[in-house]
Structure formats: C-alpha cells, structure tokens
Chains A and B, each alone.
Chain A
Amino acid sequence: MMWTFAWQNLVTRPSRTTLAIIGLTIPLLAFLGLFSLSRGIRDLMGNTLTKMQDLQVIRQNSPSPVFSDLPSDMADKIRKIAGADVVAPEVWKISPPIDGKGGVGAMALGMLTKRENSLKGIANLVVIEGQDLPEHLKLKNAVFKGTLLPKEKGGGRFLTLEDIGKSNIVISTKIARDFPNADGSPKTTGQTMHIGGQEFTIVGIYETGSLLLDITIIMDIGVARKLLGVGTDTVSSIHVEPKTAADGDALADRIMSAIPGVRAQPISQFDLSIGAIMGKLDLFLLLAVTLATLVGGVGIANTMLMSTMERYVEFGVMRTNGWTRKNILILVTTESALLGLLSGAIGAMTASVLVLVINRFLNGFELDLSFGLIVTSFAVALMIATLAGLYPAWRASRMTPMDAIRKSGTM
C-alpha cells in the first residue's frame, strides 16, 4: 500500500517525475555507453600479449609487420648483437582469397560496391604468417603456440620441423568459423582449405581471444613465400627473444642503434600502451560520469524537496491520522527510490537497445554491455536516488503536525 501510494504521488506529477528521471537516466546512459565502449576496445585487444617481453623488429615507419619488409640477412646481424637469444624471421602478408572468398581483391571490389560489404571485408581480413620453423620452435614465448586448443577440443598440433615445405597450416577458431564447410559447420583439423587456389591441410587450431591476432594463418616460411610471392631476400619482421627477459628494453635500444631504419619494440608494448591509455580513459570516464550522476541526484533531491514542501499540510494530516515520523520518512524515501528504479530500468533498457542497434552497424568491433555493468548502473541509480530523497524525507518527517495543520488555513 505504501508502494502504491508512493507510486501515485509520482504519476500525478508526470512532467516533474519524467524530468527527474531523465536527469538521472542520461548520466546512466553515459556510464553504460562509455564503459561498454571501453570494454569493447579491451575485448578487441585481448590480453594475450601482455606478458610478452620478446621483441619484434620491423621497418621503422611500418604500422605493422604486414606492411614491413626487411632484408633477410638482417637476422644474422641481430644474432651478433649481445643479449639476443633466438632470432626468428617471419613473413606477413594479407591472405589471397580463401575458398574463393575474401582477400585484397575481394576487399577492393567490396569497397567499390557496397559500404556494408567493405566493412565485412575488413572484418574478415585474414593474414598469413610464414614462420622460420627451426628458429620459431626454439622460442620460449611463441605468440600462437601456447594458445592451441586442447587436444580433446580439436586443437590438433602446432607446426613442427616436419612441416617445412609442406602445405600444412594452423588456423584460429574464428577462421574455422568464418570459412566453414558446405554444411555450415566450422572447419576442423585434418580438413583442407584453399588459399590462393592452393590446397592446405589444417593441422592445428588456436584461439588467442584477441580480434587483432585471431585473423592469422600460420605456415612454413618457405611455403608462404611461394604462396605470397615473397622472395628469399626479404622478410617482414623478426621476432627476437632476449637471453633474459629483463634485458628486453636495453636489447631493443642496442638493435636500433646497430641497425638504422628499424624499430624494435616489445611485442607487449602495443598491448601495454593500450592498457595504460584505457586505464586513464576509464578513470576519466568514471570522473565525468560520477559528476553527471551526482547532478542527476541533485535533480532528484530538488524534485523531492519541492514535492514534499507542497505536501507539508498533507503530511500533517497523515500525522493527525496516526502516521509516525518513520512512516512519513519511508513514504518519501520510497518515492525517490522509485525514481531511481525507474531511471535505472529506463537507462538499462535504452542502453541495451542502443548497443544492439549500434553493434549491427559495427563489424569486427562490438560495444560490450555486460550484465555486471547493467546491475552496477541499476544499483548506482537506486543508491543515488535514495540518498537524494533522504534529506527531503527527513525534513518532511520533522514538522510538527500542529504547524502543518495551521498552514491549511483553519486558524
């Protein structure tokens, strides 16, 4: 009965109630939107590389190995630099069409036809990594080897020295899904894939969880050269493992001073710098959103204060009918808590719908609105609104019934 009464008190002043709710819903939406964006970015990066102290050497101004080329003999130069342990050259290129789909050509064609297709094309981009297997197998911190699915889940095996010169590949679960069998089931080990018209056998399947990495098909460097048309005199990048992990940064400096025109950086750095930026971003977002939420709370306090002052006489009448101070306190607090619940519900629903709609237009990147985020925003709304209602409620409960009744004009 208290709840229905409180509810009635809100619905009989619809515009004021709506405004108070909007005032709290907007910061909640901002909270949910910004944090699902931040989570989305994190998902994209994954955490795979975070612990990697190994270095990646690429040409100085290349954004990524795919667009880098280095002379093959650079590997020997790096081996001579003190502190370098394993030096593993690799070839990276965007994949030619797979099973007749995708590839650079298809991408370009897609861009010419439909915007949506071009987005899909970018999302379905696949790159080939050709590994110098004798060297790569010596790495203690290989990027993909450790993320192979377990045997019982169809992970198969990683490449071995046996695979040199053979058309065997290791692919990600994403690629297995994106290029399925005729019946729609994902590819499994033992099955084949046509890359650039050539037949390859899948021997292993990995999953790093990073959308930036899970687009890679791994094969022997020699096979990759033939497939991609890369001569033996060039490589894309060189994976360098330092003798001691702590020496990583110093080794990078030594490499860059010994060999001009290259960039050597920890593989983790990309992830780390993103992580640091995201951490700062989160803090900033939290600050901004907290301020906005407080403003929303002040709006609710103001609304409740106005509505309790208007009802001063009515509270007096309730007191003359046996309502206790506590009853009045509960009524007013219930009203403001209801405002919080409504704001929370509307915020959560609007955010869910918006994220669904926005994600339909995004490809490869998704806003990540977690259940935890929704629950948090709900709790915050409820808490802020309840707290905001406490002062008005306390004031309403403290008036003396006699004064209130006199205000009604029966003096």
Chain B
Amino acid sequence: MPNMIEAIDVDKSFLSGEDTVEALRGVSFTVPEKTCTFIVGPSGSGKSTLLYLLGALDRPTSGTIRIADEDVTAMNESQQDVYRRNKVGFVYQSFNLISNLSCLDNVLLPYIPSGVTSELRDKAVELLKQVGVGNRLKHKPSQLSGGQQQRVAIARALVKDPVVILADEPTGNLDRSGGDAIVQLLRSRESTLLVVTHDRRFITPDDRVLEIEDGLLKTNC
C-alpha cells in the first residue's frame, strides 16, 4: 500500500513567555492510505499539535510532512487554504459547529465563500442522512444533542471527500454509546483516518497506533 502520510523528523516548539515548549521532538512516521491510526499518549504530550500540523493549521519548526505526495510544510498560505478546503476533514472534541448556521449550512461551510451549488447541497443533504441526522437539516447546532452535533461535524469533514480525516478526541464530550457510534461512523469511510484518543477500547488489532510521550514518538506498531 502506498503511503498517504509521511512525516520526517518533525519538530515543533512554542514560545510561552520566556520558555520554549518543545511539543514535538523529531517525530517521523508513515501512514499507508485507507488505514485507521490512533494517536495515544498522556495529556500535553503533543497529540493535538501533531494532528494540526498534518492539517496545515500551523508549520513545524523543522522537518517535513508529505500528504498525498504534497509537501504540506512547503506550501504558501493560499496553497494551505486550498489544501484545507479540499483535502483534510477535521473533527474536534467540542464539535465546533458554527452556531449561526443551520446543520445543512454547517456542512456546506467550506463552499460558502465560493458559492454553494445545488449539487453540493444535494451531497450535503445525502451525507447528513447517512450520518443519521437527515431530519435536522434546518436546525441550529444548539438544538441538537452532542452526539448529533458530532454527526453534523463528521458530515462537514466528509463533504469535501478528504484524503485524510483528522479527529481530535472526537468522543471526548460524548457518553460511552455515543462515542462508540461516532468511531464506527468514522471507520465506515474509505478514507485515511487519524484519531487522537484517550480511550484504548476503540483500538482493534488491525489498527495502527502512534504513541507519543513528551513530544517523542514511543512506538510505531
């Protein structure tokens, strides 16, 4: 299987007042396409930082990240914008839906600036049906339960047919059965999936695991 993600010697440090926090230290790994990878580790170990670098939300201090044969770390800002609009789907712990937009418009969020076509609208409706909130199209996020909001967020991540889906503790704000359903939904996609989690019960023998501690990659099994 060809590699979808290739990280080479990635460092990321933050300036926090006088101190430098080294969130990632020499992280290298590969992820084959259409696999499911869990990123685990204690709080503050650098899991989110890694995920955000993969999503081009920020640049590493040094090192290279290649995704679908594109050097994410060498992109200029507008290339990053295009990459984020078309290639990565994000799912967050706190859902992060736009409160003033309906569920349907939240799914269409990436296309609001450029214009929403009727094909895109049909696709968004179809996705919302697939994730089980087809009857909540016109509702505002605040009118939905946490599990339903996360489903809308997944539909939003999927609408662009992303090459990778990056989920940062997507079950963190959900109860046990709600969390199970969300992970199942994410797995059901034919896409390369990376999930940060605290909960090892989601991990099956087929899955890949990246274990981070203190910015260092411990195992790559």
A residues sitting closer than 8 Å to B (CB atoms) are: 1-2, 5, 8-9, 12, 313-314, 317-325, 327, 330, 400-402, 405-406, 408-411
- CA A237 to CA B213, docked complex, whole Å: 106
Between B101, B112, B156, the greatest number of chain A beta carbons within 10 A of the residue's beta carbon is seen for B112
Name the B residues within 8 Å of A319 (CB-CB): 57, 81, 84
Do residues A409 and B113 form an inter-chain contact, with CB atoms below 8 A?
no
* Contact status of A320 and B55, CB under 8 A, knowing A5-B112, A406-B48, A410-B93: yes
Classify the interface of chain A: helix, strand, loop or mixed.
Answer: helix
Among A320, A327, A401, the residue within 8 A (CB) of B113 is: A327
Do residues A321 and B85 form an inter-chain contact, with CB atoms below 8 A?
yes
Name the B residues within 8 Å of A314 (CB-CB): 96, 98-99
- CA A323 to CA B48, docked complex, whole Å: 21
Name the B residues within 8 Å of A410 (CB-CB): 48, 92-94, 168-169, 172
Among A1, A2, A324, A400, the residue within 8 A (CB) of B58 is: A400
Name the B residues within 8 Å of A322 (CB-CB): 81-82, 84-86, 110, 160
Do residues A324 and B96 form an inter-chain contact, with CB atoms below 8 A?
no
Do residues B100 and A9 form an inter-chain contact, with CB atoms below 8 A?
yes
Among A317, A323, A325, A411, the residue within 8 A (CB) of B96 is: A317
Name the B residues within 8 Å of A408 (CB-CB): 92-94, 96
* Contact status of A1 and B116, CB under 8 A, knowing A322-B84, A402-B58, A409-B94: yes
Q: Which residue of B lies closest to A314 (CB)?
A: B98
Do residues A405 and B96 form an inter-chain contact, with CB atoms below 8 A?
yes
Q: Which residue of A lies closest to B55 (CB)?
A: A320
CB distance from B68 to the nearest CB of A (A): 16
Q: Which residue of B lies closest to A409 (CB)?
A: B94
Do residues B94 and A318 form an inter-chain contact, with CB atoms below 8 A?
no
Name the B residues within 8 Å of A411 (CB-CB): 43-44, 48
Name the A residues within 8 Å of B98 (CB-CB): 314, 317-318
CB-contacts of B144-163 with A (<8 A): 156, 160
Do residues B57 and A1 form an inter-chain contact, with CB atoms below 8 A?
no
**B90 sits at the interface (CB 8 A):** yes
Among B43, B113, B160, the residue within 8 A (CB) of A323 is: B113
Question: Can you sample 21 A-B contacts with CB below 8 Å?
Answer: A1-B116, A2-B112, A12-B99, A317-B96, A317-B97, A319-B84, A321-B84, A321-B110, A322-B81, A323-B85, A325-B77, A330-B113, A401-B57, A401-B58, A402-B58, A405-B57, A406-B48, A408-B94, A409-B93, A410-B48, A411-B48
CB distance from B137 to the nearest CB of A (A): 15
Do residues A12 and B100 form an inter-chain contact, with CB atoms below 8 A?
yes
Q: Mark B29-71, 1 if CB is under 8 A from A, else 0.
A: 0000000000000011000100010010110000000000000
Between B81, B85, B96, B110, the greatest number of chain A beta carbons within 10 A of the residue's beta carbon is seen for B96
Do residues A402 and B57 form an inter-chain contact, with CB atoms below 8 A?
yes
- CA A56 to CA B145, docked complex, whole Å: 87
Do residues B100 and A324 form an inter-chain contact, with CB atoms below 8 A?
no
- CA A257 to CA B77, docked complex, whole Å: 85
CB distance from A331 to the nearest CB of B (A): 8
CB distance from B69 to the nearest CB of A (A): 20
CB distance from B98 to the nearest CB of A (A): 5
CB-contacts of B13-28 with A (<8 A): none
- CA A325 to CA B88, docked complex, whole Å: 18
* Contact status of A321 and B48, CB under 8 A, knowing A314-B98, A405-B92, A405-B96: no
